[in-house]
Structure 1
Amino acid sequence: MGRLTTEQSVTEVSVVLPAYNEEDTIEETVGETLRTLSSFLPADSFEVIVAEDGCDDRTPKLAERMAASDDRVRHFHSDERLGRGGALEHAFAAANGEVLVYFDTDLATDMDHLEELVERVRSGRYDVATGSRWMPGRVADRPAKRGVPSRAFNLLVRLFLGSSLRDHQCGFKAFSREVFEDLRSQVEDNHWFWDTEMLVRAQRAGYRVDEFPVQWTPKGDTKVDLVRDVFGMGSQIVRTWWQVAVKPRVTQRVAMAAGAILTLLALVLMTQYISFGAVLDQMQAADPVLVAVAALVYVLSWPVRGVRYRDILAELGFREKASFLTGAVFISQTGNLVFPARLGDFIRAYVVKARRGIPYPSGFASLAAERVFDLLTITMLAGIVLVGYTVTGQTAELAQTVVGAEGAGQVAVLVAVGVALAAILAVAVIVGSAQSDGNLAGRLVRRASSDSYAEFVAQIVERFVDDLQAVAGTRRGFARIGISSLGIWMLDVATAMLVLAAFDPGLAPIELVSVCFFAVSVGNLAKVLPLSPGGVGLYEGAFTLLVIGLTGISPELALGAAVLDHAVKNVVTVIGGYASMLGLNVSLTTAVEETKDVREGREAEPAELD
């Protein structure tokens, strides 16, 4: 990662200069920093660290030379780009001072303010201090192309994150060691948003944060990409808002209430367009023989789920019987129907640990891999079918049915082709990465963009790939698990086909097959966000909308088929789940309670099952 040269004794103030390709200014900046610090701090009570971030110019050599000639200067070197926030965090962690300061190396902020900045924290009056270019009476004269985005960004931070500060981006800040150590693990961004997130979290944690006006003069061109990085920072505002303002309030009770309200709202809206009496009439007229056959077909998918889970655990080094694991899958899926936020996944991890001693980390890894295979399979199926619909022009008809706007068809064709090909390409890249030693998917995302949002996406993709590599690092393992995943979803689609056929919709066999493949795939993708237990309401809504748009059958028939299809699957799941609970002596409520510590990030040992 990096190295620090020149050992130093413990000092009082550490100033970090984040540097990327600053060969023209770094010597002058370090010299001015040393002179200013010497004017108000005792000798040997401070240090200056050049946090050189993967430079490809002469900055590393110049920083090394300065560190060798002056004991007050240290050099932090990184062979790879850490991002401004990453470079600051690593340098602060290695610094000796109790007061941690940084400012931009272009010295845009007048150095006469440095004593004011340092002493605010060094005196103990404040825990954090930051310069401001937007305080009344001291507004910086900035070009519109930089000033307007900056004002907009700060307004959004105040609005969404509850900050009381006017300027979060000014590169002139000081933190106490206590604040940095307390908050560093909570700050996730490693680029331009890093210090903004530190300021927001410091205020929310109750630390004393002071903002004071500074004289600031723009120098040179900003290294912030006004499109790429501003978009990235916008996404970080949303991410931080979710973490600090929304997620803490999303308790199990709130999630269940929200899911119920969303489902009720969807039903109320449907009553404006659909006669539920007619829906019930359609369901009563459905062929009971075909519905029963559909249920039997869906039952067949469960042993395949058990076999797949057996193969996933085998790749992790655990040998278990498919029959036991089928029961565990039944129980967990039943838990997902009863509880929100996919708590059934924790129940399965509990069952396999309590019954077979499989550690929680391995249990969760196996579940994550299973989810990845499911997502890859249904995304690929949806993408392939969407390409077929686009080629035949049915995507345009779907858009016109749903949107009802002139010109929607042409736009829909272009969007559908792009989305479908992107989905198929993404699946291919992720699968290819899983079969290689590296992580091609993550590298491609980073090559497309280096901003914080791209890094966030790259990390998600890499977690997907890591899960795949953990359980399907061999061609044989990947093929075996991939084939069983495809089999599971084929049976799921076959169930929907039989249910829809039971309503005698008058569709040709090929049309029945294609519409069910697409509707089932998209319907299950709609359930990815756990807004309601078992995705009830989400699946039916997506399924109904697509069937209507692609076939032109009545809304009452489409909704009746969607409800009955989901009901058949959920009834089979519940019956199998409760039978498995009896056989394995498992209580859903006990399992949820036992995994509470794990869900909150603490390891716990489950109680022994009798």
Structure 2
Amino acid sequence: MGSPRDSTAPGTPAGESANGAIEADSDTADASSVSVSVVLPAYNEAETIESTVATTLRTLAGFLPAESFEVLVAEDGCEDRTPEIAARLAAADERVRHVHSDARLGRGGALERAFEAARGDVLAYFDTDLATDISHLEELIDRIRIGEADVATGSRWLPGNVADRPAKRGVPSRVYNGLVRTLLRSDLRDHQCGFKAFSREAFETLAEDVEDEHWFWDTEMLVRAQRAGFTVAEFPVEWTPKGDTKVDLVRDVFGMGSQILRTFWQLSVRPRLSRRVGLVAGAFLAVFALVLMTQYIDFGTVLSEMGDADPLFVAAAAVVYLLSWPIRGVRYRDILEELGYRETVPFLTGAVFISQTGNLVFPARAGDLIRAYVVKARRGIPYPSGFASLAAERVFDLLTIASMAGVVLIGYTATGQTAELARTVTGAAGAGRVAVIVALGVGLVALAAVVGIALSARSDRNFVAAVVYRISTDSYADFVAGVIGRFVDDLQTVAGTRRGFTRVGTSSVAVWTLDVVTALLVLAAFTPGLAAVELVAVSFFAVSVGNLAKVLPLSPGGVGLYEGAFTLLVVGLTPLSPELALGAAVLDHAVKNIVTVVGGYAAMLGLNVSLTTAVEETRDVRDARDEAPELD
């Protein structure tokens, strides 16, 4: 956030800047004498702001020396007369300052901006509706002023002083605070009471790490203050609900819930992650998924079935799958050409081989980072372009496999087989059922998202971002909408022309068709006795859904999830036994992974690339990556 300006343009009223970006009024007061700054966050408060400022000044004057305090009206993109009133108050009283923003910054963003403009060493704020009894202001400020605490906050939920709140506000508040206490290990009872104060040192230290700019800002400040070792004092306050809350119980509660999870990840999970932990966790999940299958499948019979598979069909499957890789290279070349880069197919095929090998070895799609590293290190393609090309590729992957699964499902519906499939899925247990449910859910979400992205790419309006903002309007929503916006831009660049869409779309269909043919040949190796049409249909559907099940990076390469979904669908749609279906699934995935690893290591030798070095080199750009599902 930029620093506020304490000046006005010639010809503009005090308190209003020429461009309306941000300003703070009344520079006539001696800044060195101000020790306490009180900020009033104001959004459309024309009815109350004047009386609140007067009450605040009167209360501060009752226990602080003259000219030792200031009141800043943090007016946040208001749509009523609040800016005009705040400017007038600032012009009339040198103790009042007006910090204005034309655009909405969010509650936390407006507070941060005002605190940066403040002159005092004690920084306090409270809600302008004066729901918290103003008589507590002296205690709030003195907790910081005398050095008793670095952060002070009023509480409506301390034992013996529970506020009388309407159920529609009290119940969500209790649930919310309980989640914060549990997940974020906070010792406080009330995190959202709009009555807080900070020392200058605490604020400046914490503001660097706090990411939210809306309603979660209060909570994140308190949680990070405790983690940073600052002394946080919580004391009971008298609180009376005033009017309707500005918190949207759908959008903001949902958004704040996502912020709890984000902060939990940043403070409790990510610091404990390492490459070794990731590898162990991924391996455990893969083994666990396979162990679940042993509860309803005889693995001895599975091994026997695999031993009886025709090696000629298996070898043919490996050759067919190998043929898909140059097509992947061609597709990647076409994507990069649309982004303005020309590279050779052999090099790009090697880069794809290496990245997919990384996805098999490392968890959390580290291979995606490796590809961006390879094209930058060997061809000088910037990281943003590398991530953009990968994002566009993933969009086409999702659209292709979801469409393939959807077409086959329509065919099964037309022939009346979906009822049997539904009974199979609902009656199954273990990894297979979980995998299919995950796949179907991911498929529906992915297809809806891709359609929305495609519509956005062909329009000036971002339809998907509009949906996100209907659910939440906090900074996490901004992050999600930003990611979607980059996807839309990337897709528009790559597929914005008929030529680009046709080239990349055609090669995507070819890649995934060969992936299906590989599975078909492996299944045929078991001599299943299925008619050709039935064999083709079940292969297309099982492979498509199996790959959708792998979208969530629960294990390296999706091992276990793919096999579970493939097995369950083959059993539900054919008379084949679970043992034969699982044998085919394991062998199919093994053939593909072996081809990938062999090709990947050959490419590493040819391009002189080390997987571990690539991962280390890309740590600094990890946050720049667009989230993309793993599909191989």
Under a length normalisation based on structure 2, what TM-score does the superposition of the two structures give? 0.85
Deviation at 1:388, TM superposition (A): 4.9
1:297 to 316, 320, 323: 320
2:371 is the alignment partner of 1:348: yes
Partner of 1:270: 293
Using the TM superposition, name which of 212-221 and 461-470 deviates more: 461-470
2:409 is the alignment partner of 1:397: no
Deviation at 1:109, TM superposition (A): 0.7
Q: CA 1:576 to 1:32, structure 2 compared with 1: closer, same or farther past 3 Å? A: same
- Partners of 2:380 and 2:352 lie apart in 1 by 16
- Partners of 2:203 and 2:459 lie apart in 1 by 38
Instruction: Find the residue that maps to 2:23 and give its secondary structure.
Output: strand
Equivalent positions of 1:525-604 (< 5 A) are: 525-599=548-622
Deviation at 1:475, TM superposition (A): 4.7
- Partners of 1:601 and 1:223 lie apart in 2 by 33
Partner of 2:16: none
Deviation at 1:457, TM superposition (A): 4.3
2:38 is the alignment partner of 1:22: no
Amino acid at match of 2:180: V
Partner of 1:316: 339
After superposition, the C-alpha distances for 1:98-138 in whole angstroms (9 at most, x for unaligned) are: 33322111101111111221222233332211101111232
Q: Which runs of 5+ in 2 are unaligned?
A: 1-19, 429-437, 626-632
Q: CA 1:211 to 1:467, structure 2 compared with 1: closer, same or farther past 3 Å? A: farther
CA contact 1:29–1:107 (8 Å) conserved in 2: yes
Deviation at 1:438, TM superposition (A): 4.7
Amino acid at match of 1:132: S
- Partners of 2:480 and 2:584 lie apart in 1 by 37
Q: CA 1:487 to 1:54, structure 2 compared with 1: closer, same or farther past 3 Å? A: farther
Partner of 1:100: 123
Q: How many residues align?
A: 594
CA contact 2:254–2:472 (8 Å) conserved in 1: no
Q: CA 1:69 to 1:547, structure 2 compared with 1: closer, same or farther past 3 Å? A: farther
After superposition, the C-alpha distances for 1:181-240 in whole angstroms (9 at most, x for unaligned) are: 333343333332221111111111212211111111222222223344333323322222
Amino acid at match of 1:73: V
Equivalent positions of 1:170-249 (< 5 A) are: 170-249=193-272
- Partners of 2:492 and 2:98 lie apart in 1 by 38
2:162 is the alignment partner of 1:143: no
Under a length normalisation based on structure 1, what TM-score does the superposition of the two structures give? 0.88
Q: CA 1:312 to 1:98, structure 2 compared with 1: closer, same or farther past 3 Å? A: farther
Partner of 2:629: none
Q: CA 1:47 to 1:503, structure 2 compared with 1: closer, same or farther past 3 Å? A: farther
- Partners of 1:204 and 1:393 lie apart in 2 by 58
CA contact 2:255–2:473 (8 Å) conserved in 1: no
CA contact 1:229–1:452 (8 Å) conserved in 2: no
2:106 is the alignment partner of 1:83: yes
- Partners of 1:229 and 1:148 lie apart in 2 by 15
Partner of 1:256: 279
After superposition, the C-alpha distances for 1:559-595 in whole angstroms (9 at most, x for unaligned) are: 1111111111111112211222222223333333444
Partner of 2:513: 490
Partner of 1:51: 74
Deviation at 1:474, TM superposition (A): 4.5
Partner of 1:440: 463
CA contact 1:526–1:542 (8 Å) conserved in 2: yes
- Partners of 1:433 and 1:88 lie apart in 2 by 34
Amino acid at match of 2:392: A
- Partners of 1:479 and 1:252 lie apart in 2 by 39
2:383 is the alignment partner of 1:364: no
Using the TM superposition, name which of 495-504 and 99-108 deviates more: 495-504
- Partners of 1:61 and 1:392 lie apart in 2 by 69
2:83 to 60, 65, 68: 60
Amino acid at match of 2:25: T
CA contact 1:435–1:474 (8 Å) conserved in 2: no
- Partners of 1:387 and 1:231 lie apart in 2 by 35
After superposition, the C-alpha distances for 1:269-307 in whole angstroms (9 at most, x for unaligned) are: 222211112112222232333322222221121112112
Q: Which runs of 5+ in 1 are unaligned?
A: 406-414, 603-610
CA contact 1:14–1:101 (8 Å) conserved in 2: yes
CA contact 2:399–2:450 (8 Å) conserved in 1: yes
Instruction: Find the residue that maps to 1:135 and give its secondary structure.
Output: coil
- Partners of 1:184 and 1:524 lie apart in 2 by 42
Partner of 1:3: 22
Partner of 1:69: 92
Aligned-residue identity in percent: 74
- Partners of 2:46 and 2:595 lie apart in 1 by 68
Amino acid at match of 1:535: G
CA contact 1:127–1:179 (8 Å) conserved in 2: yes
Q: CA 1:73 to 1:466, structure 2 compared with 1: closer, same or farther past 3 Å? A: farther
After superposition, the C-alpha distances for 1:295-331 in whole angstroms (9 at most, x for unaligned) are: 2221121112112222233333322111111111112
Deviation at 1:554, TM superposition (A): 1.4
- Partners of 1:203 and 1:486 lie apart in 2 by 53
- Partners of 1:23 and 1:47 lie apart in 2 by 20
Q: CA 1:456 to 1:335, structure 2 compared with 1: closer, same or farther past 3 Å? A: closer
2:528 is the alignment partner of 1:505: yes
1:132 to 146, 151, 155: 155
